[in-house]
Every structure is written in structure tokens, then in C-alpha cells.
Structure 1
Amino acid sequence: MEWVFLVGGDLREQVVEVRRIDDRGDGIKLVIGGSTLSVISAYAPRVGLDEEAKKRFYEELDEVVRGIPNTEKIVIGGDFNGHIGATSSGFDDVHGGFGFGVRNGGGAFRLC
């Protein structure tokens, strides 16, 4: 499967790197106003797949994130097969309050 990042307008000139991570994700790096932004698009294994596949996915994602210098801002999006819910209760550091619905176990795990 091939992934596509759509970057429009003036932001196209800010793209400094596009890279394929693996069959479950890609990344793009932009320099905007003197700050570097790394955007990762990742897709977790579906609910019902074995726990080992899920564990491998998160270990690989962790490795990618740890490889990004701490001077860069990181945005991770995609489908993690969990619902984080509408409220940030207890996760104010990582949940901006932009979710919807009710948090489930998979969503709580993603916020930790």
C-alpha cells in the first residue's frame, strides 16, 4: 500500500523530507517559521489481530518517535483502533479535548 500526504499552498515549500516508515505508516518533515515539525501517519493492527502484532507495531512506532530529535515538534495521526473520548479527564497533558464519544480501553491505553 502506498500513502499520500497532501500539502497545499505555501506549505509545499516547507517540506524537507518525506519517508516511508513501513507498511503501516509514513512520515513527513516540514520547517515552518524556524521550527521543525515531524508528522507521522500510522495505522495500528485491527481489533481482533493477535497481541504480538499489536506489540510489534507499538514498539516500531516508539522506535520511530525516539529517533526524532527532541528539538522537533511531533504530530502523530492515523487510526489506532481506540476511542479516546471527548473529555481529557486525567490526560490533560496529551489530550486536547478534541475527541468525541466515550473513551474505551484501547483509547485509554493510547493516552498513557
Structure 2
Amino acid sequence: MVGSIFRLEIRRDEPFDDTRICVVRMKLCGDDNNDLKELYDHIKNEDERREETNRMTLNTAIWRMDKFDLAEKYFRRCLSELPSNDPLLSELYQRLGLVADSKGEYDSSLEW
């Protein structure tokens, strides 16, 4: 899940047939169970538009994974849900243009 915090325990095993193996254990931390709680709380409270920002970040990650159709679907959903004077609209139009460009739809990209 985006924003999850894990504690990592890394252990190196002895070399085996000229190969060194590392074992990594990941333990999911709860909201109150990590050293970064103060920083996390600050970031969480810093932006009133956190939910929209997170969705834009997630949609952008989907686009960067070359899942263009899925990214476009989610960006369009955000577009339909935001009010017409929302400050995120300019960024959203830009991302839709980038998705169209990635799909080779250059005319559509220019329109966005």
C-alpha cells in the first residue's frame, strides 16, 4: 500500500558457491509503531488536499508503469470529481496530455 512503513532486518549469509545471499525481513509498522510517526503526522496535516494529492500521485505511478489506459481512466475520474475551480486541474490536464502522448495520441495530447 502506498505510504506503508516497514522495518527492515537485513542479514547476510555466508558465501555459498561464490554467491552471497542476503535475507531481508520486512515487518509492517502501524501508525503508532514507528520512529517516523512525528514526520508522518506533519506531512499528513500539512496539506488539506491530501486525498486528491495521493490520488494524483497514485495515478502518476500507474502512468509511469506504462499502464496508460488505466492511468487515463483514473485521471478522467479525478477530472469528473473535482470542482471547476480546483487548483489541481492544471496538473490533471497536464497528466492527461502526458498519458495521451505516451499512447502516441499526439493530437489529443495537445488538446489536453
TM band (smaller chain): 0.3 to 0.5
Larger radius of gyration: 2
> Is the helix fraction higher in 1 or 2?
2
> Scaled by the length of structure 2, what TM-score is found?
0.35
Higher RCO, 1 vs 2 (CA within 8 Å, ≥6 residues apart):
1
TM-score (norm 1): 0.35
